[in-house]
Amino acid sequence: MVKTKQIIIGLVSILGTFVFLFIVYKLTNQPVKSDFAEINKIETSDHFRWNNRKNLLVEYSDFQCPACRSFHDFLNSIEKEVSDKTTLVYRQFPLYQIHPSSLEAAYAAEAAGLQGKFWEMGNKLFEKQDSWRSLSDPKNYFFNLASELKLDLVKFQKDLHSQSVKDKVQNDLSQGEKIGINETPTFFLNGKKVEVNNLNEFKQLLISL
């Protein structure tokens, strides 16, 4: 009788363990639900191009990313065809784990933005990407770019590592991580993630709006 009771207790214990492990598995393997709606919340610190609010295209990008440069050049090439019906918002998503100079580049663009030259600096960062991406410390190179843009270099140096600039980049990065971004560039059109196979599909999508 005692032995039977011990067996029953053992089986109940084992069953309880399996139930517990099953519950833990279900809780830890739930699909992540990304709230893309918050992407459409425009902040005063956001950077805009084209400025037609009929459609909103949000880009999460990395200035050291070769694919981002290709998409940047592509968007510049179709600007006349899409700028009358779309607003483009650029947000920072530097993949600093694999692109060690991407954070510094993001700071440089934001510092230039405080003098009204965000897009101009962004253009130069992408255009000259091959010249600075392998530098161990690209700060001097970015200062030269700032000089070419005729920025106030004293202010640029002060802003480059200011807390406000770092916070702006970190806020963009945190939002991207929250919604599950893990590659660049990543685009959202009117709150929905853009899934295309090539640049021509992307072009047709934007032109058809």
Tens digit of each residue's pLDDT (9 = 90 or more) over 101-131? 999 999 999 999 999 999 999 999 999 999 9
> Between residues 2 and 140, which one has the greater pLDDT?
140
CATH code of the domain containing 116: 3.40.30.10
Check whether residue 72 and residue 3 sit in a common domain: no
Check whether residue 195 and residue 144 sit in a common domain: yes
Check whether residue 86 and residue 70 sit in a common domain: yes
Check whether residue 99 and residue 4 sit in a common domain: no
Domain count, the chain: 2
Give Cα separations from 53 to 25, 89, 185, 202 (angstroms): 44, 11, 21, 19
Check whether residue 87 and residue 13 sit in a common domain: no
Do the Cβ atoms of 65 and 184 come closer than 8 Å? Answer: yes
Check whether residue 174 and residue 151 sit in a common domain: yes
Per residue in 16-48, pLDDT (tens digit) is 444 333 333 333 343 334 557 778 888 889 999
Check whether residue 18 and residue 45 sit in a common domain: no
Check whether residue 173 and residue 74 sit in a common domain: yes
User: What pLDDT does residue 37 have?
Assistant: 72
Structure tokens at 15: 């069953």
Query: Crossing angle, helix 153-160 and helix 139-148, to 10 degrees?
Result: 140
Structural domain boundaries, residue 15: 1-30
Q: Is the pTM of this model over 0.85?
A: no
Check whether residue 93 and residue 70 sit in a common domain: yes
Check whether residue 20 and residue 107 sit in a common domain: no
Q: Average pLDDT for residues 81-96, to the nearest whole number?
A: 95
Check whether residue 161 and residue 176 sit in a common domain: yes
Check whether residue 55 and residue 131 sit in a common domain: yes
Q: What are phi and psi of 144, to 5 degrees?
A: -65, -40
Q: Give the distance, in angstroms, between the CA of residue 123 and the centroid of all CA atoms in the same chain.
A: 17
